[in-house]
Amino acid sequence: MTPTLHIDCTFGIAGDMLLAALVDLGADLDAIAVELRKLPLDDFSLSTQNVMRCAIRARLLNITLAHALEPAPEGLAQYHTTHEHSHTHSHSHSHDHSHGHDHWHPQRPAGEILAMLAASHLPPRVKQRATAIFSAIAEAEGRIHDLPPQAVHLHEVGAMDSIIDIIGVCLALEALDIATITATPVPVGHGVVSMAHGNFPIPAPATLELLKGIPLSSFSAQGELTTPTGAALLKVLVERFTPAPQGTPLAIGYGAGNREFAHPNVLRAVRLAPPEEEDAAREHIAILECQLDDTTGEQLGFALETLLAEGALDVFHTPISMKKSRPGVLVSVLATPERADALEHCLLKTLPTFGVRRSAASRRILVRHFEEVTTELGTANVKLGYLNGHLVRVSAEYEDVARLARAHGRSIDQVQRLVLNAWEQTRSTRQP
């Protein structure tokens, strides 16, 4: 099993910070640059340097463009920034630089970048990840500007350095053989940011659009803590958001932002040992509960059916005695963390309750596989449950059993025995 990666973005995230942290973790920056130069990009060079951020050593990424950019044509609205010769990044879209001349990043249509990736010879997973990230950005910008994603002209994210950041991160993940990624809840900061279309409140529109469905942290500071590129990386790459890494740390990398804050302007990347199969079968879930003493059977049945249709893992109700000795029911819903908010809303809309409790829990599940068997009544699936690689549970899939029982006028017990006998016979013929 491959290692997992935990992105600790407690103080924010930008594309260059994540790339620098992955290089600090062990990814070869020179090898990344070689792969990037196979793409039709402007000439560039990459390097990192050690810097201190609130007494923490971290790597700062430098992108040097070989050719100075020409001034923007008069009257052409483009993304403006200032550049120094080392082109160091920061959390802000405007960079403080030494020579003080204004240059411009040309707008890049999303379709042009996606076509470049499609025609590239990048490793398949790198191409898939990078394409998904740029597609997510184009879709977010399209919703904001009411344009089809392919027609969106990317401003800040379409700039040369951001293209290098995004594809570079995907190459670094491939070099480290990272398949599973988690991250902390995300801070956004506050204030005003200057962008291609003018001044906007932080978080920038594209950033907030990309962060839909992602938990935000309560940490805040003056300035842009999470950039659109950082938000897009989290949106596409992260499977689960959790306050702390889970597993055994193997290595830690630190990537620095260019600006100095009162807090450490760093992003931490933690490579974790892959969990054992037994731990991999443990799921983190949310338990939603509410107590009712004034609901009808019809309301309760409708709510339970609706909750299951909305993606609940399981729903059940338990008779309880409530205050003033009133008989009531406790409605319990098991949900994935990603579906918990939607199922809370569903509970509040479908049942006469004024509140829903939520608690975090975990459950260990058997690793499940399905096998189809053929009986004299028709085909049915058998569900197999494994614990640490050993088969410990076999059951006929209920929906298939019920279908065959109704179609042939048999009892559930009769069909279950028929299906399991067919599976036993099939299994015995496969064994040496």
Distance CA 345, CA 350 (A): 9
Please list the residue range(s) of the chain that carry CATH number 3.10.20.300: 367-430
Question: Do residues 3 and 274 touch, judged by C-beta distance below 8 A?
Answer: yes
Token pair of 98 as six digits: 């030494």
Going 355 to 359 to 365 to 367, the CA torsion angle's sign is: positive
Q: Encode pLDDT of 206-217 as tens digits.
A: 899 999 989 999
CA angle 239, 243, 248 (to 5 degrees): 80
pLDDT per residue over 53-105, tens digit each? 999 999 999 998 775 444 433 332 233 332 333 333 433 333 333 333 333 34
Residue 88 CB contacts under 8 Å (≥ 6 apart), including other chains: 60, 61, 62, 95, 258
CATH architecture under which domain 367-430 falls: Roll (3.10)
Which pTM was predicted? Answer: 0.59
Cβ(288)–Cβ(343) below 8 Å:
yes
How far is C-alpha 379 from the chain's CA centre?
38
Residue 16: both structure tokens together: 């260059």
Amino acid (1-letter code) at residue 20: A
43-56 residue pLDDT tens: 889 999 999 999 99
Q: How many residues does the chain have?
A: 432
CATH architecture of 281-364: 2-Layer Sandwich (3.30)
pLDDT 10s digits, 158-205:
477 889 999 999 999 999 999 899 999 999 999 887 766 667 788 888
Query: What is the pLDDT, as a whole number, of residue 425?
Result: 87
H-only helix segments in 296-392: 297-309, 340-350
Query: What phi and psi, each to the nearest 5 degrees, are found at residue 191?
Result: 125, -150
CATH 3.30.70.1380 residue ranges of the chain are 281-364
**Rounded to 5 degrees, what are φ and ψ at 193?**
-120, 140
